[in-house]
Structure 1
Amino acid sequence: MDKVQPSAAAAVRDIADGASLAVGGFGLSGVPDTLIQAVHALGVADLRVVSNNCGVDGGGLGVLLAAGRISRVTGSYVGSNKEFARRYLSGELEVELVPQGTLAERLRAGGCGIPAFFTPAGVGTQVAEGGLPWRYTPGGASVAVASPAKELRAFDGREYVLERGITTDFALVRAARGDRHGNLVFHKAARNFNPLAAMAGRVTIAEVEQLVEPGELDPDEIHLPGVFVRRVVELTPQQAAAKGIERRTVRTR
């Protein structure tokens, strides 16, 4: 039952080329940076990532992206990551853009063993009708791969589109507190996609800012039960304190 690993490197040791990863975080909040750095050091490539966004230039998943380690991204937001946009538009990266709520539910559904579900989000758009550019030809002159049309069905006089649940080979998440059994507690906005990503991974690895012993967490405060978590990495105080700010906004004194 003790799921604690000696290091982040040991925790990600069996992630191989071509693996799929569900990664928690939103912007730079709740991003498992230590595990991402360990994957980068591992040297694996052709990774297929599922995450709300792909980090920023030089931060989060942007580290793997800049190194050319990611071949496909399923997410909701390109944001201000210029390298992400450049690779996508030049045909170096395949990108499946998904409505944010749909992405969250696809991860949750996959974790619950639900293969697919119907949602009204995207009906009447290319999300349902197909044709969204997934990959451009080299140089970006034309679309090489486009999204397919999805099944539509009417319920009580309203149309819904069929979306498939997502499961991945691995999941990387970050929590504020965790015990040796893998029970996790997230802090405020850093909770975001982390529990959903953790549910979708066949092997979920969690980095925790504070490691406690089993029984120290009140069962009522646990956000994700340890049944979803395979490995736990305790962060050093320096790693726990290192939290990036995507956009710093201050006002004139």
Structure 2
Amino acid sequence: MSKEITAQQAAGLIRDGAVVSVSSSSGLGCPDLVLAAIGERFAREGHPRAITTLHPIAAGDMYGIKGIDHLARPGLLKRTLCGSYPSGPSSAEPPLIWQMIGANEVAAYNVPSGILFDMHREAAAKRPGVLTKVGLDTFVDPRHGGCAMNAAAAEPIVRRVEFDGEEWLYFRAIVPDVAIIRATTADERGNLTYEHEGAYLGALDQALAARNNGGVVIAQVKRIVQSGTLKPQDVRVPGVLVDHVVVAPEQLQTTQTPYDPAISGEIFRPLSSFSTPAMSVQKVIARRVAMELADGMAVNIGFGISANVPRILLEEGQHGKVTWVIEQGAVGGVPLLDFKFGCASNAEAIMPSPQQFTYFQAGGFDATLLSFLQIDRDGSVNVSRLSARPHVTAGAGGFVDITARARKIVFSGLFKAGAKLALMEDGIRVEQEGKVNKIVDKVEQISFSGRRAVAQGQDVTYVTERCVMKLVPDGLLVTELAPGIDLQRDVLSQADIPLRLADTLKTMPAALYREAPMGLRLGGGDHG
């Protein structure tokens, strides 16, 4: 018997006060039709009321897939725990969820994505919760806010505890009453395959958490086929875990992308089909970041300038020497940009996100390339909060999980916000200084703890267009200076804190600033 129901019928299954877990990464894998139906039911009936939602990575965006914004209605949404939230340009009106957060109309928490997946796993196994060191001395730590995003988030969700003589963070497991997941195909028995999806995300873990605790699992798919026609090795979520199936033939593969078979690994694109970055200050920074890599490394990348580093390696003829690993699950290939960020073409494998985060949390990979909004005197980094423009930042996502034990971290960004910069053939010049310092005494929110990094012996580098800095036990050390940059005028006087200088201050290579490939060659390195 088919498990197919309408989106409206699925919305009718959500009771008042329910805990609802949603599988999505922004637009990637978002069950948007079901979420829209829940919002529409509330508008008609005033139900469901006071629900809690769990979004381990994110749900929706500002570019066509509303996701959590369908639920962002006072009275409907009481509490939400998200890895990240929809974000967009500062010129745009904030998403509805950000308006609710700012007005304290919802208790909002920003929980690292990996920890949220861990909480589902513990709930599925009926264990009490998660013991982790991920997030110590960051905004996740109760000493620095305990993940709370506003005053409405007054109920603590994390505690510091001592176990076996060590300090840990403890997150109590949250049991979902409903899991809303997504796939490409369901058969009549509810078995799910993912042949057109760009990632598996955490659908299986979320379904298990609901099913094992007597909850309901709703799957949104493009199509339903006859029972017995799906190959068992292709089924990622078995039908015994799925109660209901909603068909959404027009569901987008990811943001502004109806379907691209290269994203789902059904075809491989020629390397010549990938664009490489035009010459810019950001490309200069990405090139210098690429110089930190070595042949054979497994490297994670985040959104921002560092997302262009795989294209730098393509341009330099070094593609394949580094294996890229991203939190949505892709291993290898070419990570994609802009609206398709989080997907990869030509991937070697796609892992479920919870297992990818296990890999990250334990530092099993070699390096991560990430962005920064602010850096402070301890080397701590903020990527997750700008109070003046909150909706421009999405939250931390997997950033805290990834940096917790990463052996090598390369942060990249502009040294100062708003500066007018001129590229020259042999360097860079500051034509008009920016107004917002990014090297500050204390970051607005600790997304990455420099103190903890020093204690753990992590290798941390900060690459900007003006200089390169390293984290050392007594703070930030300038090790390289860009040609054309005046050390005192453009660097030291533009930081809110004293910067130390290496005994031998190197000059960043002139090849970084030229249109032609820079001749990068990745040698061997000390990596696992």
TM-score (norm 2): 0.41
Percent same amino acid at aligned positions?
25
The letter for the 2-side match of 1:75 is: C
Give per-residue Cα distances to partners, 1:116-150, cap 9 Å, x unaligned. 2322212234534353373645xxxxx77263651
- In structure 2, what is the Cα distance between the partners aligned to 1:224 and 1:183? 6
Instruction: Provide the residue aligned with 2:72 in structure 1.
Output: 65
Task: Give 1:17 shift.
Answer: 2.5
Equivalent position SS for 1:227: helix
Task: Give 1:16 shift.
Answer: 2.3
Task: Give 1:159 shift.
Answer: 3.6
- 1:193 maps to which of 171, 178, 202: 202
The letter for the 1-side match of 2:200 is: R
1:86-235 counterparts in 2 under 5 A? Answer: 86-130=99-143, 131-132=145-146, 134=148, 136=150, 145=154, 147=156, 150-155=159-164, 159-186=167-194, 187-201=196-210, 202-235=215-248
Give per-residue Cα distances to partners, 1:133-183, cap 9 Å, x unaligned. 73645xxxxx7726365142345x754322222321111111111112222
Q: Residues 119, 136 of structure 1: CA spacing in aligned structure 2 closer, same or farther, 3 A cutoff?
A: closer
The letter for the 1-side match of 2:232 is: P
Task: Give 1:25 shift.
Answer: 0.5
Instruction: Provide the residue aligned with 1:28 in structure 2.
Output: 27
- In structure 2, what is the Cα distance between the partners aligned to 1:6 and 1:77? 30
- In structure 1, what is the Cα distance between the partners aligned to 2:179 and 2:9? 15
Q: Residues 165, 13 of structure 1: CA spacing in aligned structure 2 closer, same or farther, 3 A cutoff?
A: same
Instruction: Provide the residue aligned with 1:53 in structure 2.
Output: 58
Contact in 2 for aligned 1:4/1:231 (Cα 8 Å): yes
RMSD: 2.8
- In structure 2, what is the Cα distance between the partners aligned to 1:98 and 1:144? 12
Give per-residue Cα distances to partners, 1:53-96, cap 9 Å, x unaligned. 24234711212215763221111113416232232122111112
Gaps of 5+ in 1: 138-142
- In structure 2, what is the Cα distance between the partners aligned to 1:62 and 1:72? 13
- May I ask how many residue pairs the two structures share in their alignment? 240
Contact in 2 for aligned 1:132/1:146 (Cα 8 Å): no
Moved more, 124-133 or 173-182: 124-133
Instruction: Provide the residue aligned with 1:245 in structure 2.
Output: 256
The letter for the 2-side match of 1:69 is: L
Contact in 2 for aligned 1:26/1:193 (Cα 8 Å): no
Equivalent position SS for 2:21: strand
Which one has the largest radius of gyration?
Answer: 2
Equivalent position SS for 1:215: coil
Contact in 1 for aligned 2:157/2:172 (Cα 8 Å): no
Q: Residues 153, 71 of structure 1: CA spacing in aligned structure 2 closer, same or farther, 3 A cutoff?
A: same
Q: Using CA pairs below 8 Å that are at least 6 residues apart, which structure has the higher relative contact order?
A: 1
- In structure 2, what is the Cα distance between the partners aligned to 1:194 and 1:176? 12
- In structure 2, what is the Cα distance between the partners aligned to 1:10 and 1:200? 22
TM-score (norm 1): 0.81
Equivalent position SS for 2:116: helix
The letter for the 2-side match of 1:244 is: T
Moved more, 63-72 or 34-43: 63-72
Contact in 1 for aligned 2:14/2:178 (Cα 8 Å): yes
1:77-88 counterparts in 2 under 5 A? Answer: 77-80=84-87, 82-83=94-95, 84-88=97-101
Equivalent position SS for 2:198: helix
Contact in 2 for aligned 1:25/1:190 (Cα 8 Å): no
Equivalent position SS for 1:42: helix
- In structure 2, what is the Cα distance between the partners aligned to 1:18 and 1:115? 21
Q: Residues 227, 128 of structure 1: CA spacing in aligned structure 2 closer, same or farther, 3 A cutoff?
A: farther
Contact in 2 for aligned 1:135/1:145 (Cα 8 Å): no
Task: Give 1:109 shift.
Answer: 2.2
Contact in 2 for aligned 1:24/1:198 (Cα 8 Å): no
The letter for the 2-side match of 1:63 is: H
